């Protein structure tokens, strides 16, 4: 690729995570579906927050986590996402900039507060997420600078952005700007519920616009409405240019045309919290990809990042990923 100021530009929902431990009874009491991400309004956010036990607050958001991972590997990253000019907005911006990610999206001065995601981690390390999008919904085409998009080797977005119509328009503008500049675009399917909401749109995107697709086993089987990973793999092969599909402890499979690379999961001493595993896998893969590494090596780097993130609470690396490779 021609010279670029950034390896990866991420566009996502700028969210501060509030993470607490909970048992299955808590999930049942509050009618939460284990392992899912549900969108909630501000009133529901306040109710759940009041019921939660002690927790930690840390900047998150699926794409934000990926960009933190890219930076931890030593990559050059930029981020576009909307926060409000409030306490959580300041926390989010500081956390990204402090690790070297460029983040210049103008803050909202009115309207909803900065987004938050209330995450319940059960003893089996599953995470159940409840997201109040807040200021995220203010992200729109005006926030996309084609010059910044063109300065990144890959523009990476989260499927969750399809939940906000203006954010979707922003993504499509960025995709067009990237391709006009001879750059690549990438999307993660985000979760199987998200896939269910936008299946037809996502499949059209994969066929027509996306260069690199990320998803996990449940997301990709939902996308193609099949009952096995093998069937989903063959369906993906017909539509995606490159797809990196994760399978938890089974590792990941990368496909490109007739090529298939099955890469085992990286060893992890103990699984504490699976929040962000897919986000960090994407960071490792994209870090390797933007350095011209073979696809199997990109997947190996993704697995290393995922293993680090599930070994502790929170979806931002605690150990510098560049030290693990």
> Which of the 8 DSSP states describes residue 125?
S
Span 155-191, pLDDT tens digits: 999 999 998 899 999 999 999 999 999 999 999 999 8
Provide, for the chain, the percentages of residues in helix, strand and coil under a 3-state DSSP scheme, each rounded to the nearest 5.
Answer: 45, 25, 35
CA distances from 288 to 80, 274, 292 (A): 22, 22, 7
pLDDT at 4 over 70: yes
pLDDT at 315 over 70: yes
Question: Do the Cβ atoms of 169 and 23 come closer than 8 Å?
Answer: no
- Phi/psi of residue 127, nearest 5 degrees: -120, 135
Span 32-88, pLDDT tens digits: 999 888 999 989 998 998 999 998 888 889 999 999 999 999 999 999 999 999 988
Q: What are 306's two structure tokens?
A: 């995922």
Q: How high is the mean pLDDT of the chain?
A: 94
Lowest average pLDDT, out of 126-130, 228-232, 280-284, 297-301, goes to 126-130
Q: What are 309's two structure tokens?
A: 């993130």
pLDDT at 1 over 80: no
pLDDT at 153 over 90: yes
Mean pLDDT of the 309-318 span: 86
- High-pLDDT (> 70) share of the chain, %: 99
pLDDT at 317 over 60: yes
Span 80-110, pLDDT tens digits: 999 999 988 999 999 999 999 999 999 999 9
pLDDT attached to residue 274: 80
Mean pLDDT of the 235-258 span: 97
Span 123-145, pLDDT tens digits: 998 889 999 999 999 999 999 99
Mean pLDDT of the 299-318 span: 92
User: Can you give the pTM of this predicted structure?
Assistant: 0.91
pLDDT attached to residue 2: 60
pLDDT attached to residue 139: 96
Mean pLDDT of the 233-262 span: 97
pLDDT attached to residue 125: 87
DSSP sequence for 189-220: ---HHHHHHHHHHHHHHHHHT-SEEEEEHHHH
């Amino acid at each position: 690729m021609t010279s670029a100021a950034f390896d990866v530009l991420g566009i996502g929902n700028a969210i501060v995570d509030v993470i607490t431990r909970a048992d299955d009874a808590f999930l049942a009491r509050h009618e939460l579906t284990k392992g899912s991400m549900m969108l909630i309004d501000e009133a529901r956010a306040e109710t759940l927050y009041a019921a939660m036990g002690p927790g930690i607050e840390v900047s998150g958001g699926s794409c934000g986590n990926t960009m933190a991972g890219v930076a931890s590997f030593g990559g050059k990253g930029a981020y576009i996402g909307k926060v409000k000019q409030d306490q959580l907005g300041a926390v989010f911006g500081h956390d990204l900039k402090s690790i070297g990610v460029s983040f210049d999206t103008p803050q909202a001065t009115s309207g909803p507060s900065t987004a938050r995601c209330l995450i319940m981690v059960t003893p089996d390390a599953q995470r159940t997420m409840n997201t109040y999008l807040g200021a995220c919904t203010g992200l729109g085409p005006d926030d996309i600078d084609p010059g910044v998009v063109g300065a990144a080797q890959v523009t990476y977005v989260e499927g969750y952005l399809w939940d906000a119509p203006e954010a979707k328009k922003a993504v499509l503008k960025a995709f067009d700007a990237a391709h006009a500049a001879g750059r690549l675009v990438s999307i993660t399917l985000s979760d199987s519920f998200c896939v269910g909401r936008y299946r037809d749109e996502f499949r059209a995107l994969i066929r027509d616009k996306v260069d690199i697709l990320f998803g996990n086993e449940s997301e990709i089987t939902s996308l193609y409405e099949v009952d096995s990973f093998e069937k989903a793999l063959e369906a993906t092969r017909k539509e995606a240019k490159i797809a990196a599909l994760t399978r938890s402890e089974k590792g990941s499979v990368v496909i490109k045309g007739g090529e298939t690379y099955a890469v085992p999961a990286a060893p992890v001493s103990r699984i504490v919290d699976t929040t962000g595993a897919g986000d960090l896998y994407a960071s490792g893969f994209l870090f390797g990809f933007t350095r011209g590494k073979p696809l199997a090596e990109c997947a190996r780097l993704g697995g290393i990042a995922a293993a680090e993130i599930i070994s502790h609470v929170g979806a931002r690396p605690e150990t510098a990923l560049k030290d693990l490779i």
